[in-house]
Structure 1
């Protein structure tokens, strides 16, 4: 499964199966340090939605080909349509605003597809993870990075408020409002050690290869669990994050009224008693 650029047939998102139930999604613009365009956002949404509905896929690993994970938005190629719209004198302010909103929706949908995907998504970060690159990994469930990783929330430096996830997700990930605001207001770089200290990532590895290997191994561990249980856990974690404790418990009760009837519960019990690994069907 590969996503191509409509204009150049360049593979923008390269997808492969790394293990029986683990799929690897690579940003594939290494000559531009995986800078993101609106076309790439659209392809990312398409790929993630396909993987969400692929029964054999249970966990997704996201990485970047080449020297960097993602250097941010492609200011040269990625904003040409936006600039054209903004300078269109034939449109009034309201119509230009609505047209710009459509572009922003494409960008948000690209990352929202990751956040909404019922299957766990693990980000394996190396070197640059800048601007929208950092916002991409905020949509992921687990974030690990190599020692050379460096991050920044860069949008204020280019004259806009972050609009593809940083302002709605970062506070919930980190839990330190003061630090989040410092990063968003100043746009300063922070390294892997600082990211780990504040909970932005969960692990650091010496090299990019070791980071990707660790992400793949972690994905394999998760993929051997009941997909009914894992996907239900993600859905309920996402719901409870945005609702009260009482609402979260009501939601998971209703969820498990159906999911407890799955054969996975019985298979887990049988495997435990027989001291063997459980075997679960695809979903």
Structure 2
């Protein structure tokens, strides 16, 4: 797959099994989320999603920490531009409309992870703060090393978290736990993150986590890509609808997918007691 030049990210792979790594690549700033990230991320996800060679994506961070949150210099620039816009326009409603547009653009960058057809697995180490929590909440699976810690930090910056944490965390960890984290901004250890459901598993070190998450990703990548894509889409649809609507959606999905060559290959492989070989998307 042709490699693209991103300012804040780096793509590795995919490997022969179809696993690609998407790396936050600002280690000197603990991968603080800058303006370039919000431009690069949806483009990089679209690039990986469009590649038939990619079946699973691992999202990780370079350096000592996964992500230290929004780059404060970016917040300062936004505040300055909003002040300038307010003075130029002299209309609070127009300034507010512009701000809504800006926030929705930032939100869309993280929602791209959720809307990606391929599963996205977050591999977290060290700090995962503020916007970093927004980021992993939009992923499909989350794993961390034992040195990881998490904080929904926006309340300490006198702002309301607006990139997805307040919407997705209650679905992952429950309303009460989400309220606790969002109102206190307190630090949550890896073990507590596992106990409340923020992460799916904790590993003793970054090295072990990388090995195990890669093995997990390859396990998923070996399955029918049609079934994996469909499972992700149906689960997300069911999360956001009633049981009845979710059942209707999966019935419609399978009505078009049950006649696939992947199903025939899966059955044949089971009967022949071998691993199935599935075509790319």
TM-score of the pair, normalised by structure 2: 0.95
Partner of 1:9: none
Partner of 2:38: 41
User: Structure 1 stretches of 5 or more lacking a match?
Assistant: 6-11
Q: CA deviation at 1:106?
A: 2.2
Say which of 243, 246, 250 aligns to 1:245. 243
Post-superposition CA distance 1:22-52 (Å, at most 9, x none): 0000000001000001221110010001111
CA distance in 1, matches of 2:35, 2:105: 7
Q: CA deviation at 1:80?
A: 4.2
Q: CA deviation at 1:86?
A: 2.1
Q: Secondary structure at the match of 2:57?
A: strand
Superposition map of 1:1-283 within 5 A: 1-5=3-7, 12-17=8-13, 19-20=15-16, 21-76=18-73, 78-88=74-84, 89-91=87-89, 92-175=91-174, 177-283=175-281
Q: Secondary structure at the match of 1:56?
A: coil
CA distance in 1, matches of 2:226, 2:268: 17
Q: Secondary structure at the match of 1:119?
A: coil
User: Structure 2 stretches of 5 or more lacking a match?
Assistant: none
Q: How many residues align?
A: 275
Question: Is contact 2:14-2:54 (8 Å) kept?
Answer: no
TM-score of the pair, normalised by structure 1: 0.95
Q: CA deviation at 1:81?
A: 3.6
Cα distance change, pair 133–36 in 1 and its aligned pair in 2 (3 A): same
CA distance in 2, matches of 1:137, 1:86: 28
Question: Is contact 1:42-1:106 (8 Å) kept?
Answer: no
Post-superposition CA distance 1:68-106 (Å, at most 9, x none): 000000002x22441222211112212221222232122
Q: CA deviation at 1:19?
A: 2.4
Question: Is contact 2:34-2:70 (8 Å) kept?
Answer: yes
Post-superposition CA distance 1:183-228 (Å, at most 9, x none): 1001001010100000110111111121122111110000000000
Q: CA deviation at 1:229?
A: 0.3
Q: Secondary structure at the match of 1:19?
A: coil
Question: Is contact 2:149-2:188 (8 Å) kept?
Answer: yes
- In terms of fraction of residues, the more helix-rich structure is 2
